[in-house]
Structure 1
Amino acid sequence: MNNKLALKDEILLTIDKPARYIGNEVNMVRKNPEAVKIRVAFAFPDVYEIGMSHLGIQILYHQFNLRNDVYCERVYSPWPDLHKIMKEQQIPLFALETQDPIKDFDFLCMTLQYELCYPNILQILDLGGIPLKSANRTDHMPIVIGGGPCAYNPEPIADFFDIFYIGEGETVYDDLFDLYEQMKEDGSYSRQNFLHEAAKIPGLYVPSLYEVSYKEDGTIACFQPVYEDIPTVIHRQVVENMSESVYPDKPLVPFIKVTQDRVVLEIQRGCIRGCRFCQAGMVYRPLRERSLEMLKEKAYQMLTSTGHEEISLSSLSSSDYTYLEELLTFLIDEFKDKGVNISLPSLRIDAFSLDVMSKVQDIRKSSLTFAPEAGSQRLRDVINKGLTKENILHGAGLAFEGGWNKVKLYFMLGQPTETIEDMKAIGELAEEIAERYYEIPKDQRNGKCQITVSTSFFVPKPFTPFQWSPMCTKDEFLGRAKIVNETIKSQLNKKSIRYNWHEADVTMIEGILARGDRRLCNALIRVYEKGGIFAAWSEFFDDQIWQDAFAEEQIDTDFYTTRARQEDEIFPWDFIDAGVTKQFLLREWHAANEETVTPNCRQKCAGCGAMKYKGGVCYENQN
């Protein structure tokens, strides 16, 4: 063994969970690095247990490695114990498959799932020996690419990436790799030339090739490309036929327990529901289903190749999958007697769902989840939840009669137009659900009722109808949580109800980063330099680090959070066409303020614009 690897082995014996860094998992791809033309390091800017649970990387890892000329490897954020050692001993960050330094790769791709992971982007670059800012990189350094949901507003991290991939990863990576190979072979490659040509590929945004100017009030005056031959609008790339798209049949199996330690079967992409707070429900439109035959085949292949004892059906709203009953019948008949559990997130709680869950879950151990998001019907209409109190109480009653006694309720505080009555309604709804349980004869109950109420705090995300809405302040968030807490404590069945809420200071940082612009980049560097990595983890989040960094860069954080937006304001993300049009989002913003419900996509087309991906006619183009 060479000295480099021996040193790593010696170090790994001194840190927590060394299996995070050794690779060699079941189904890991092995190739000869000398026999490929392109090496890709795919990074997840969080710890191994989180990154290994992410379906997107599994899909692209499989897709990239289907190419004989590409070797895709993985890298995750080193935990603080190893981070410290690597900094002190100047050990370069390495990929798991070959243990080679990532600075020697052609591409470094990162998936951007959560804003609080942004300091870990800088950690990966820094430990990898790659300059933090794109402008400081040479021709011999990797091309750094970011994608995923946070790429729908890439501006707060624009300085750190060479390219942002806008849309679904299965679409244009082959075009990018082919361009890279061609320019390397014909001698025309330079970093600048390659990025210029890459910017012409649909869905690829090269931030260094765009300029932004600001008005005196701090809002954006103009955003435009520096060359005439690159697009002014970046169009999101979409997989139109999910049944023919690539999907792994041999997913990686981790050595240690990870967050989602199971086979994940994505049954569809997109959502018909139209909740006005939900970014995923907007940017993943339109709904696209995988065929029943494909899902049956992939379920069998993945369970056979991994040995996992659980399979989870993944989607934003699983109950809306057309062939759900047939798929579940197949999974139960095929795998239940083989000790395979079936996980069913994102189901509406109705008679069919409860019947299925009773077959695949241990009712005494499991809990059911409802996400009303708002306590009152008025506010549920504002957010277009499409759920009535009668729906909730009926579903809870069916569950209690079926043997369940544990219910989790998820709400969001601080949404537009929220009143004190709306806040109190959260506790009152929990009480009504508890009362529904105790209406059941005592000899038919399964012990005491356990209701857990959780509230997060609302962040108006890009490409949602609420992107014009201001956020609450930290004190306002906490004040609203106090009202909910006091209401719950005043209920007759308060001993059956437990309440917890999200950290308000974390939410404020999320809001700044979700809605920010390029002026935040230097502040993020300061956060990293002050030790602000793993900010998504409560034990490592330090609000003072963030406040100091913003102050040093003279960032007015209220500008990004509590300020109301004008309807004609240019947003930092307006140069992206995410499918849904700004006109549609504005109509929905007006409908929210009028407390008007918009039917879901199967009831009536609302003309959001996303049907253009399926050959449909956009409502906007008819006017």
Structure 2
Amino acid sequence: MRKQALTDEILLSIDKPARYIGNEVNSVKKDLKDIEIRFAMCFPDVYEIGMSHLGIQILYDMFNRMEDVYCERVYSPWVDLDKIMREKQIPLFALESQDPIKEFDFLGITIQYEMCYTNILQILDLGQIPLLAKERGEEFPIVIGGGPCTYNPEPLADFFDLFYIGEGETSYFPLLEAYKENKKKGGSKLDFLKKAAQIPGIYVPSFYEVDYKEDGTILEFRPIVEEAPKSVRKEIVMDVTDTYYPRKPVVPFIKATQDRVVLEIQRGCIRGCRFCQAGMIYRPVRERSLEMLKQCAYEMLRNTGHEEISLSSLSSSDYSQLQGLVNFLIEEFKNKGVNISLPSLRIDEFSLEVMSKVQDVRKSSLTFAPEAGTQRLRDVMNKGLTEEIIIEGAGKAFDSGWNRVKLYFMLGLPTETKEDMVGIAELSDKIARRYYEIPKDQRNGKVQIVASTSFFVPKPFTPFQWSPMSTKEQFIEKAKIVKEAVKAQLNQKSIKYNWHEADLTVLEGVLARGDRKVGKVILQAYQNGCIYDSWSETFDYGKWMDAFESTGVDIDFYTTRERDLDEVFPWDFIDTGVTKEFLKREWKNAMDEKVTKNCRMGCSGCGATIFNGGVCFEN
């Protein structure tokens, strides 16, 4: 009989107990007698969010295809269970076996966003695993991090044994083989880490030291053991068709954030927006074949019973076989009650035509991302979107029956002026005006426009990584300017304006661009009681400020400080393929308000072609 880590009494006393019991449809069960490696795959947030993450589904499927490897899942317990586990000294456990994660060989943590950093410490702490890597003996799991935030792993360097830089379908195989070989030989954890450091894409932070200048910037980042390379090159899968993809994804017991089948149609993006980290680190663009996607869609829907399928990519409109794929999905599944979701579409006639086929225009809203209120600032960020295209796209949508539009903008971008801020309100009003140009008897009620602004964070490996951030007070002032400008518009009653939390954004900026010194702030914040920092009901800005004060770390050093073009960044040891010279060139183009063509229109010489034998697209 399968054991249960939590008693019925505990399960009945907490919110959503199904988060913790496992046994879902398509979850994997293996006999431990046949297993050489146990791998706990962790998403450091609640079950509903973690279960919506495609990357974990891919790795879970990939690992469990190996006969001697057993991959199980673990998520962050919500605050109610967190309290009980601490009081009763219940060790954090994996869902499939309900065994404590401290008994596993590996604890793999996906790091998707900066505001989950204290939850990583929660996982270790509840797992009864020492928080600091240097304090973990041979009896504890190897803690390895992966995901987009590992493109600057330095704030978390003290807590991890390893980081995997890049896409997981390649170097995990030699890594696990090296672990098995080391285990058979009776080697130590140090012996294994030395072998791991020689595997492409693997970074062992304890094998490196950082020297600082008097001003606090980095003088030198260097390896201190022979086995550690000077730079770590990201891992990438060039053939995304003939690779791992879960045909039987695990079906959650409770409604997940994305309660649907996810079909990743391509990786990378051709657009080159200068603020977008994903658009840079996932280069070059790689498309999955139409036949593979058709087969996956059919099998995944059949094996899960989901009633929605989402086509996932950074820019779905740029997938060359989109029309054929959408037509297939409509023909095959629309009459079977399956909805088709198409996020990340651009504003053009083709996208609107596709959306009208798969959405009920009278129920759904359209989402556009102009990012900036003026053409000048869109050119600075290389958005590749003119006001004419935006208004024309909105107009065609209105003519087709839509009357609800969501608009996404950013505040605090490099070179931003008051005119750019007011432009957000003015562009929203122009879109509303376009709706009211439609004869009254042909309109679908009143137009509803929701304009939302997030605050800009300069991310590593983007041309804007040299940009200073605004302060919390400046962000709030910018939002007030937009709010007042909206009130001054002719169609103000049709426009609703929302903005992101400024204090959260400043903290995200520190964690995104931090060095190893930021690690002690994260540890202190956790010890102050910070967890679930991305949740408004649990985020405590005051506790974080106390952590900065008690550790003596200056927020402004990481946020508002001007960067010299030749400054050594904490993440410079990572080779993403995109060269620093290209990023510098794009930063200068931004300051000159010059637009760079997208990848299909002509190669801009970013360096990512080295992963593809020198060719990204046949022009």
Question: How far apart, in 1, do the equivalents of 2:444 and 2:371 lie?
Answer: 27
Instruction: Give 1:315's aligned amino acid.
Output: S
Give the SS at the match of 2:149. helix
- Where do 1:202-601 residues align within 5 Å? 202-601=200-599
Q: Is the 8 A contact 2:471 2:560 kept in 1?
A: yes
1:184 maps to 183
Instruction: Give 1:358's aligned amino acid.
Output: S
Write the deviation string for residues 7-41 of structure 1: whole angstroms up to 9, x where unpaired.
53321111000000000111001101221000000
1:43 maps to 42
Give the SS at the match of 1:125. helix
- Residue ranges of structure 2 left out of the alignment (5+ in a row): none
Question: How far apart, in 1, do the equivalents of 2:8 and 2:319 lie?
Answer: 47
Q: Is the 8 A contact 2:194 2:227 kept in 1?
A: no
Question: How far apart, in 2, do the equivalents of 1:71 and 1:612 lie?
Answer: 35
Give the SS at the match of 1:472. coil
Question: How far apart, in 1, do the equivalents of 2:356 and 2:567 lie?
Answer: 51
Give the SS at the match of 1:431. helix
1:529 deviates by 1.3
Percent of aligned pairs sharing the same letter: 69
Instruction: Give 2:21's aligned amino acid.
Output: I
Instruction: Give 1:74's aligned amino acid.
Output: R
Q: Is the 8 A contact 2:144 2:162 kept in 1?
A: yes
Write the deviation string for residues 241-289 of structure 1: whole angstroms up to 9, x where unpaired.
0001100000111010111000000000000000000000000000000
1:360 deviates by 1.4
2:68 maps to 69
1:621 maps to none
Give the SS at the match of 2:191. helix
Give the SS at the match of 1:243. coil
1:28 maps to 27
1:617 deviates by 6.9
1:607 deviates by 0.5
Question: How far apart, in 1, do the equivalents of 2:369 and 2:116 lie?
Answer: 25
Give the SS at the match of 1:224. strand
Write the deviation string for residues 216-249 of structure 1: whole angstroms up to 9, x where unpaired.
0000011000123321000000001000110000
Question: How far apart, in 2, do the equivalents of 1:352 and 1:157 lie?
Answer: 43
The answer to whether 1:603 aligns with 2:601 is yes
After superposition, the Cα gap between the structure-2 partners of 1:419 and 1:19, relative to the gap in structure 1 and judged at 3 Å, is same
Instruction: Give 1:135's aligned amino acid.
Output: K
Write the deviation string for residues 551-595 of structure 1: whole angstroms up to 9, x where unpaired.
100001100000010011000000000111100000000000000
Write the deviation string for residues 22-68 of structure 1: whole angstroms up to 9, x where unpaired.
00111001101221000000000000010000000000000000000
Instruction: Give 2:99's aligned amino acid.
Output: D
The answer to whether 1:125 aligns with 2:124 is yes
Question: How far apart, in 2, do the equivalents of 1:245 and 1:382 lie?
Answer: 37
Write the deviation string for residues 337-378 of structure 1: whole angstroms up to 9, x where unpaired.
100000000111222222222221111110000000000000
TM, length-normalised to structure 1: 0.98
2:77 maps to 78
Q: Is the 8 A contact 2:404 2:449 kept in 1?
A: yes
1:5 deviates by 2.8
Give the SS at the match of 2:13. coil
Question: How far apart, in 2, do the equivalents of 1:64 and 1:183 lie?
Answer: 19
Question: How far apart, in 1, do the equivalents of 2:8 and 2:290 lie?
Answer: 46
Q: Is the 8 A contact 2:413 2:456 kept in 1?
A: yes
The answer to whether 1:97 aligns with 2:96 is yes
1:171 maps to 170
Question: How far apart, in 2, do the equivalents of 1:20 and 1:483 lie?
Answer: 43
The equivalent position to 1:193 in structure 2, one of 191, 195, 204, is: 191
Write the deviation string for residues 496-524 of structure 1: whole angstroms up to 9, x where unpaired.
00000000000000000000011111111
1:6 deviates by 6.9
TM, length-normalised to structure 2: 0.99
Give the SS at the match of 1:42. strand
Q: Is the 8 A contact 2:4 2:21 kept in 1?
A: no
- Residue ranges of structure 1 left out of the alignment (5+ in a row): 619-623
Instruction: Give 2:518's aligned amino acid.
Output: L
Instruction: Give 1:347's aligned amino acid.
Output: L
Question: How far apart, in 1, do the equivalents of 2:44 and 2:50 lie?
Answer: 8
Instruction: Give 1:245's aligned amino acid.
Output: T
Question: How far apart, in 1, do the equivalents of 2:4 and 2:437 lie?
Answer: 65
1:186 deviates by 2.1
Instruction: Give 1:314's aligned amino acid.
Output: S
Give the SS at the match of 1:5. coil
1:405 deviates by 0.1
After superposition, the Cα gap between the structure-2 partners of 1:465 and 1:570, relative to the gap in structure 1 and judged at 3 Å, is same
1:115 deviates by 0.3
Question: How far apart, in 1, do the equivalents of 2:89 and 2:372 lie?
Answer: 50
- Superposed CA RMSD in Å reads 1.0
Q: Is the 8 A contact 2:165 2:201 kept in 1?
A: yes
Instruction: Give 1:63's aligned amino acid.
Output: M
Q: How many residue pairs end up in the alignment?
A: 616
Question: How far apart, in 1, do the equivalents of 2:507 and 2:397 lie?
Answer: 38
Q: Which moved more, 1:158-167 or 1:26-35?
A: 26-35
Instruction: Give 1:305's aligned amino acid.
Output: N
Instruction: Give 2:136's aligned amino acid.
Output: R
Q: Is the 8 A contact 2:197 2:227 kept in 1?
A: no
1:441 deviates by 0.5
